[in-house]
Structure 1
Amino acid sequence: MTSHSISLSRHIAASVEQVWKVVTDIPRAADTLSGVTRVEMFTEPPYGVGTRWRETRTMFGKQATEEMWVTAVNPPRSTVVEAESAGTHYTTSFTIEPEGQGSTLTLIFAGEMVSDSRWKKLLWKAFGKIGVRASSKAMTTDLADIAAAAEKQAEPDRFSD
């Protein structure tokens, strides 16, 4: 197997537009996402195809920095972010759907080995499941953080008549 993927969803008590605003506010990601410690923007707003940044995250107790870029945008419903690192191509899709009084955010994270190295392929097979578990945990935390930020934005709307 040379690829792994994870799909997680969460209901958020906020509108599609409020969730979109949080998901696409890359310059503030380090304030919103507890796993992100730093963001360095390479492009200026607005968010769109071609938006590029470097994100530093804590994984396995260590800091990891990856360059990321936006490859698809369908505001305010979906976006795709990609990255490459150590012979692996990563794709993260965000989809936001209205649901009841709020919305559902679905993240699909996929990693595909693009290296021809037999050693890297063996490591991928041996440690890929550990990476999937760690990525799943990080994605679950990201979903909770995005929900908290979007719901905080939505609070004034709940009290207005």
Structure 2
Amino acid sequence: MKITDTVHIDAPTERVFEIFCDLDSAAANLSGITKLELLEGSAQLNLGTKWRETRMFAGKEATEEMWVTSYEQDSSYEVDAESRGTHYRSTYQFTPSHGGTRVDYRFTMTPLTFGARVMSVVGLLFLGVMKKALLQDLQQLKTACETATK
């Protein structure tokens, strides 16, 4: 399963990248996060940063461990997670555009086990809920970037 989106943010790429990578402010910037615990590395994302994130999803609390697997300052990063036999990857690409920043986002979910493949069919029922939550995150980060002190 894949979810993609693009958002234009009226803020410089360096500031947008910094806010997207700031784990210390993530819970304040993203209403879906109820708890975030840094496990390894810096709270300002970098290669190898690992954290545990708790969110409300479909009326239930869900906690996942995530880590940065690719990182290029002010340009892009990837975050991976594995849970219940499924590999998740979120990719963020930042490009200067029209006096602001274009953010391209891609989320992929890949079942790794037979059980996860079976459950992925059921997961299609939650595709709309998942897409709505991910796109809400992008919009809330856009707001945080555009209202941040210049």
Return the alpha-carbon distance in structure 2 between the equivalents of residues 63 and 31 of structure 1. Answer: 18
Return the alpha-carbon distance in structure 1 between the equivalents of residues 144 and 16 of structure 2. Answer: 8
Alignment size in residue pairs: 149
Match for residue 59 of structure 1 among 49, 57, 64: 57
Return the alpha-carbon distance in structure 2 between the equivalents of residues 39 and 28 of structure 1. Answer: 10
Return the alpha-carbon distance in structure 1 between the equivalents of residues 139 and 129 of structure 2. Answer: 16
TM-aligned CA deviation for residue 33 of structure 1? 0.7
Compare relative contact order (CA 8 Å, sep 6+) and give the higher one, 1 or 2: 1
Q: Which moved more, 1:79-88 or 1:132-141?
A: 132-141
Match of 2:10 in 1: 13
**After the TM superposition, which parts of structure 1 deviate over 3 Å for at least 4 consecutive aligned residues?**
none
Match of 1:141 in 2: 136
Unpaired stretches in structure 1, ≥5 consecutive residues: 157-161
Greater Rg over alpha carbons, structure: 1
Unpaired stretches in structure 2, ≥5 consecutive residues: none
Return the alpha-carbon distance in structure 2 between the equivalents of residues 41 and 115 of structure 1. Answer: 28
Return the alpha-carbon distance in structure 1 between the equivalents of residues 25 and 144 of structure 2. Answer: 11
Is the CA contact (8 Å cut-off) linking 1:27 and 1:40 kept in structure 2?
no
Return the alpha-carbon distance in structure 2 between the equivalents of residues 19 and 131 of structure 1. Answer: 29
Task: Give CA deviations for 1:100-150 in whole Å, capped at 9, x if unaligned.
Answer: 021111110000000133xx422212x232232222101110011110111
Question: When the two structures are superposed, what TM-score results if normalisation uses the length of structure 1?
Answer: 0.87
TM-aligned CA deviation for residue 13 of structure 1? 0.6
RMSD: 1.3
Task: Give CA deviations for 1:43-71 in whole Å, capped at 9, x if unaligned.
Answer: 24252111000001111011100000000
